[in-house]
């Protein structure tokens, strides 16, 4: 990550911590600082997860301040009842917070109280006694192979009055998402030194969630797309700095890639579900449809659990049923 990227992460984390510390009593504040250091250094959670956890616990403590009539101290946390936790979840839901975010909020608060218990600073069973809100399961919505290939082709946007290097850059990033199954953050965090020249190597090492690294194969078309971009990029690309740049020379923002996808959705007549992340779904679904085994796909995607990868078997089954209903005479 570049020095600018580190600064952005540090600023975001500092903002979340400032909000958290502003609603904490002194004894809780001391433990919060130790907890944040613990989840960052020992549990090795990503900066974005640490930021989200800090913000979630800040919301929890802010609610308790109103709920109890004063900033909660460690003994107050130990005396919490399941009804207090349910009141917090109901309050957040009433403010439009979705179930997935509520799950994370509860996980963050549980992480903090477990840390307190481990350090001998108090115990609270209330958070463990409350069941997390259920999240409606939705299947990933991949693109068909023809659309995915068109998305990663710079010629698809030839009608736009954009600099050729910008079109080549976007095509290279999108090629990594569809051709290698990378998350957008993983692709944009690649340094120049990590990207092989065409014909020199057929893999890259990617740092994913939880700072876990994995080796991902690159087909020649992807390395060539990246090489085409690098050849005409107007900025110097030092070895240890991000390979993909914005139009002013700074690290490329994920939002720029999302906007490129939005423009192509309109040009290709694709639904709103055609996002950069849908290309990763397409990578997994198309591999599975062509005989790829789940364990290999799990490793390629960097999933910690095979259960996460298994959802693509349901997507593949759904596509098969749709094809059957559309084509089989007895299905009409």
Asked if residue 137 belongs to a domain, the reply is: no
Which one is catalytic: 55, 169, 245, 303?
Answer: 303
Q: Is the separation of the CB atoms in 170 and 257 below 8 Å?
A: yes
Distance in angstroms (rounded) separating the CA atoms of residues 217 and 212: 16
Quick one: pLDDT at residue 48? Answer: 81
Which one is catalytic: 55, 121, 183, 286?
Answer: 183
Asked if residue 138 belongs to a domain, the reply is: no
Please tell me the pTM assigned to this model: 0.66
Q: Cα torsion for 6, 105, 54, 74, to the nearest 10°?
A: -160
* Same-domain check for residues 173 and 322: yes
Report the CATH number that the domain containing residue 17 is assigned in CATH: 1.10.150.130
Question: How long a stretch of residues is the chain?
Answer: 332
- Is 280 labeled as catalytic in the residue annotation? yes
Asked if residue 69 belongs to a domain, the reply is: yes
Which one is catalytic: 13, 169, 280, 286?
Answer: 280
Q: Is the separation of the CB atoms in 106 and 132 below 8 Å?
A: yes
CB atoms within 10 A of CB 70: 11
Alpha carbons within 13 A on the beta-carbon side of 217 = 7
Quick one: pLDDT at residue 208? Answer: 84
**C-alpha Rg value of the chain to the nearest Å:** 23
Quick one: pLDDT at residue 318? Answer: 54
Q: Look at residues 129, 154, 170 and tell me which one is the last residue of a structural domain.
A: 129
Asked if residue 104 belongs to a domain, the reply is: yes
* Same-domain check for residues 159 and 85: no
In the chain, the number of structural domains is 2
Distance in angstroms (rounded) separating the CA atoms of residues 256 and 163: 14
* Same-domain check for residues 123 and 34: yes
* Same-domain check for residues 81 and 151: no
Q: Can you give the residue range of the structural domain that contains 284?
A: 145-329
* Same-domain check for residues 270 and 230: yes
Asked if residue 59 belongs to a domain, the reply is: yes
* Same-domain check for residues 193 and 318: yes
Q: Is the separation of the CB atoms in 108 and 16 below 8 Å?
A: no
- Is 324 labeled as catalytic in the residue annotation? no
Q: Look at residues 74, 102, 129 and tell me which one is the last residue of a structural domain.
A: 129
Quick one: pLDDT at residue 7? Answer: 34
Residue recorded with tokens 């120049």: 192
Q: What is the pLDDT along the chain (332 residues), one digit of tens a residue?
A: 444 344 334 444 455 566 666 667 889 889 999 999 999 888 878 788 888 899 999 999 999 999 999 989 999 999 999 999 999 999 999 998 888 899 999 999 999 999 999 998 888 889 889 988 887 666 668 888 899 999 988 888 888 888 999 999 999 999 999 999 999 999 999 999 998 888 787 888 888 887 788 989 898 999 999 999 999 999 999 999 999 999 999 999 999 999 999 989 888 888 888 899 889 888 888 888 778 777 888 888 888 777 777 777 766 555 555 544 555 565 55
Q: Look at residues 81, 99, 129 and tell me which one is the last residue of a structural domain.
A: 129
Asked if residue 140 belongs to a domain, the reply is: no
Report the CATH number that the domain containing residue 257 is assigned in CATH: 1.10.443.10
* Same-domain check for residues 167 and 105: no
Contacting residues for 133 by C-beta, under 8 A, at least 6 apart: 89, 93, 99, 102, 103, 106
Distances (CA, A) of 294 to 175, 235, 311: 22, 40, 10
Q: At what angle do helices 276-289 and 311-327 cross, to 10 degrees?
A: 70
Query: What are the start-end ranges of the E strands in the chain?
Result: 203-207, 213-217
Q: Closest Cα to residue 255, out of 247, 222, 181, 176? A: 247
* Same-domain check for residues 204 and 307: yes
For the chain, the first-to-last Cα distance in angstroms comes to 55
- Is 303 labeled as catalytic in the residue annotation? yes
Which one is catalytic: 104, 209, 263, 265?
Answer: 209
Quick one: pLDDT at residue 4? Answer: 37
* Same-domain check for residues 223 and 174: yes
- Is 178 labeled as catalytic in the residue annotation? no
Q: Is the separation of the CB atoms in 230 and 193 below 8 Å?
A: no
For 187-207, b where at least 16 C-beta lie within 10 A, e where not — what string?
Answer: bbbbebeebeeeeeeeebebb
Asked if residue 135 belongs to a domain, the reply is: no
Residue recorded with tokens 């796909």: 297
Distance of CA 180 to the CA centre of its chain: 16
Distance in angstroms (rounded) separating the CA atoms of residues 3 and 105: 30
- Is 183 labeled as catalytic in the residue annotation? yes
DSSP 192: G
* Same-domain check for residues 86 and 174: no
Asked if residue 134 belongs to a domain, the reply is: no
Which one is catalytic: 53, 178, 229, 312?
Answer: 312
* Same-domain check for residues 102 and 251: no
Which one is catalytic: 110, 114, 162, 277?
Answer: 277
* Same-domain check for residues 125 and 167: no
């Amino acid at each position: 990550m570049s020095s600018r990227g580190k600064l952005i992460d540090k600023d975001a984390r500092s903002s979340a911590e400032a909000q958290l510390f502003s609603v904490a009593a002194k004894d809780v504040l001391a433990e919060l600082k130790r907890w944040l250091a613990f989840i960052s250094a020992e549990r090795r959670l990503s900066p974005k997860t640490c930021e989200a956890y800090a913000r979630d616990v800040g919301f929890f403590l802010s609610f308790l301040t109103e709920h109890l009539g004063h900033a909660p101290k460690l003994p107050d946390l130990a005396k919490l009842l399941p009804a207090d936790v349910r009141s917090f979840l109901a309050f957040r839901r009433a403010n439009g917070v979705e179930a997935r975010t509520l799950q994370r909020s509860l996980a963050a608060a549980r992480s903090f109280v477990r840390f307190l218990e481990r350090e001998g600073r108090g115990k609270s069973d209330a958070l463990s006694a409350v069941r997390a809100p259920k999240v409606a399961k939705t299947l990933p919505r991949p693109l068909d192979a023809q659309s995915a290939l068109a998305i990663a082709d710079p010629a698809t946007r030839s009608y736009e009055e954009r600099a050729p290097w910008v079109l080549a850059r976007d095509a290279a990033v999108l090629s990594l998402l569809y051709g290698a199954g990378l998350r957008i953050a993983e692709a944009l965090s690649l340094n120049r030194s990590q990207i092989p020249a065409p014909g020199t190597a057929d893999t890259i090492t990617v740092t994913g969630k939880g700072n876990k690294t994995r080796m991902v194969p690159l087909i020649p078309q992807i390395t060539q797309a990246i090489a085409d971009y690098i050849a005409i990029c107007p900025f110097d690309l030092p070895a240890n700095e991000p390979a993909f740049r914005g139009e002013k020379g700074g690290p490329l923002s994920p939002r720029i890639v999302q906007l490129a996808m939005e423009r192509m959705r309109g040009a290709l007549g694709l639904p709103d579900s055609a996002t950069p992340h849908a290309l990763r779904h397409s990578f997994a679904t198309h591999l599975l449809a062509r005989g790829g085994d789940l364990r290999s796909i799990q490793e390629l995607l960097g999933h910690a659990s095979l259960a996460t990868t298994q959802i693509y078997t349901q997507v593949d089954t759904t596509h098969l049923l749709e094809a059957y209903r559309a084509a089989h005479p007895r299905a009409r």
